[in-house]
Structure 1
Amino acid sequence: MERIRRQLRSSRTARTSGSSSTETRSDYWERGTAIAGIFSVLLVGVGLILTNDFNLSQLAQQQKVAQEQQDLALKGQRADRFVRAVDQLGQEEDDKLSVRLGGIYALEALMKEFPADENMVIEVLCAFVRSHAPWTDDPAIPPATPDVRAAMTVLGRRPDPDNHIALDFSNTTLLGLKRFNLPGANFRGVDLSVSNFTDSVLPRADLRNTDLTNSYFNRVDLRGADMEGVVLDSAELQAANLSGANLRNVDFTGADLKGADLSGADLTGARASSLTTAQLACTKVDAATRLPAGVEPPAAGAWQQKNCAVDTD
């Protein structure tokens, strides 16, 4: 009987041990399968990342090549446009005025579109002015030709005056620029001596440190102009509208201000000692006009007197 019990217990133990072993093998298999799945997902993820990086690198390279090709094409177009514009300027025949004007305004367009070309355009247009308005002692100076006036207009409204080479009008005669219309013109620091801007419209012009020696600015609208440091040696400004203008440190030696409107203008500064009371005798001033020490303002309404009448030619 006891032997039978031992056999039963042995049988139950064997069955329990077998079942536990089977369960353990099954658990190991499930864990291994899960780990393998995770590892497979990681491999796929790494592959996707590497593929994406490669694609991005290829795309960036393609974009770089495309940009370089585009830049090269743009440079070629700029060069072609510049050459064509300069070629138009060189058409000297009398019936080619419209062609020359087209070249001038084509250069202006290039200067505005491509700031790096500004100095080059300025040099070309200044050379054009010098060659078409050369210095002469002949007192009978004809009006400036339309193409010279156009070149001066473009130069006077150049887009970045503070960051370019100086305008060079050396050995020129700019006596034919009457009725020049360019509000806000910028000719700062330029030699405009022996020039004639009579009856021109130049309000808010920047003429700081400009040389206007022996120039003619009669009846010119210079309201609010910045003329600090200008040389007006023997210049004529009869009936010029200088109201609100900055005339500090101006050299007024021999300047003719007969009939000029100096309302609200500032004429003070170190070099303003060259201004005399006699020069202001026929000018219009008001309470806002600032005069140098020792210079007396004109009598009220003196500029309207008969002896202060200005020439109308």
Structure 2
Amino acid sequence: MDSKATQALYPLHPTAAWGPRNRGEGHPLLYICLKNLHSAGADFSHADLMGANLRGIDLSHANLRRANLMGADLSNANLQHAHLDGADLRSSNLQNAVLTGASLREADLFNANLGAACLQQADLQGAYLFKADLQSTNLEGADLRWANLRYADLTGACLDRANLAEADVRDAIVTDTQLAVAKIGNCHLHSTRRLHSQH
């Protein structure tokens, strides 16, 4: 974590390994602290932000590699070109978030809400999107190679020009999903539900 971020957060979190009572869950001071911080481009790698209220925050170009964001509220957040490789985003709320060009390689997005989020040109190689809500999500040009999308809800999602090679989309809901020019070589589609995609 960079010095500005550290100075801003230390009043709430005096140790590098934040304790279970200091994770920001429902903590308005943490939200205010982060909102007032110049968080764009900040280094939050390995930070524990479990359950944090980060609605509408600007984390563009931020380093969030392997950060714990489980259950965090990142709705309407600006995460353009952010680095979230290996981050724990289980059950997080990313509804309407902007993740254009973000890197989420091998990120854990189990049961995450990504409804209406923008993930154009995002790198989701090896990401775990099991049971993720991707309704009306823009994944145009996204790299989803080796991603696990089993039981994900892709209703109304845009996957135009996305790369789904080797992705596991079994049992996913793809009603009215746009797949124009998508690369699906070796994509596992067996038992995909309600396949009424738009080509």
Question: What's the TM-score, normalizing by structure 1?
Answer: 0.48
In 2 relative to 1, CA 105–152 (structure 1 residues): closer, same or farther, beyond 3 Å?
farther
Question: Comparing both chains, which one has the higher relative contact order based on Cα–Cα distances under 8 Å and sequence gaps of 6 or more?
Answer: 2
| Deviation readout 1:111-168 (Å, 9 max, x if unpaired) | 43xxxx432332179646643559xxxxxxxxx932685458623534xx6xxx9534
Q: Secondary structure at the match of 1:102?
A: helix
Establish whether residue 145 from structure 1 lines up as the match of residue 32 from structure 2: no
Instruction: Quote the Cα distance in structure 2 between the aligned partners of 1:179 and 1:226.
Output: 19
Q: Secondary structure at the match of 2:21?
A: helix
Provide runs of 4+ in structure 1 moved above 6 Å: 105-109, 296-299
Establish whether residue 169 from structure 1 lines up as the match of residue 62 from structure 2: no
Equivalent residue, structure 1, for 2:22: 121
Query: What's the offset of the Cα at 1:245?
Result: 0.4
Are the aligned partners of 2:175 and 2:194 in contact in 1 as well (CA < 8 Å)? no
Among 176, 182, 207, which residue is 2:109 paired with?
Answer: 207
Instruction: Quote the Cα distance in structure 1 between the aligned partners of 2:14 and 2:183.
Output: 42
In 2 relative to 1, CA 257–106 (structure 1 residues): closer, same or farther, beyond 3 Å?
farther
Establish whether residue 195 from structure 1 lines up as the match of residue 97 from structure 2: yes
Equivalent residue, structure 2, for 1:286: 185
Identity of aligned residues (%): 25
Q: Secondary structure at the match of 1:118?
A: coil
Equivalent residue, structure 1, for 2:119: 217
In 2 relative to 1, CA 185–127 (structure 1 residues): closer, same or farther, beyond 3 Å?
farther
Are the aligned partners of 2:24 and 2:30 in contact in 1 as well (CA < 8 Å)? no
Are the aligned partners of 1:180 and 1:200 in contact in 2 as well (CA < 8 Å)? yes
Instruction: Quote the Cα distance in structure 2 between the aligned partners of 1:178 and 1:197.
Output: 5
Equivalent residue, structure 2, for 1:178: 80
| Deviation readout 1:163-215 (Å, 9 max, x if unpaired) | xx953427x530x2111013101111011111111111110000000001111
| Deviation readout 1:216-235 (Å, 9 max, x if unpaired) | 11111110010001111111
Paired residue type of 2:179: L
Q: How many residues were matched structurally?
A: 180
Instruction: Quote the Cα distance in structure 1 between the aligned partners of 2:28 and 2:45.
Output: 11
| Deviation readout 1:244-294 (Å, 9 max, x if unpaired) | 00001111111111111000111112xx23434x62232101124325167
Equivalent residue, structure 2, for 1:79: none
Instruction: Quote the Cα distance in structure 1 between the aligned partners of 2:26 and 2:193.
Output: 43
Paired residue type of 2:116: N
Question: What's the TM-score, normalizing by structure 2?
Answer: 0.72
**Which 5+ residue runs of structure 2 have no aligned equivalent?**
50-63
Establish whether residue 273 from structure 1 lines up as the match of residue 178 from structure 2: no
| Deviation readout 1:45-70 (Å, 9 max, x if unpaired) | xxxxxxxxxxxxxxxxxxxxxxxxxx
How well do the aligned residues superpose, as a CA RMSD in angstroms?
3.6
Equivalent residue, structure 1, for 2:54: none
Map 1:4-15; keep pairs closer than 5 Å: none
In 2 relative to 1, CA 102–235 (structure 1 residues): closer, same or farther, beyond 3 Å?
same
In 2 relative to 1, CA 168–286 (structure 1 residues): closer, same or farther, beyond 3 Å?
closer
Greater C-alpha radius of gyration: 1
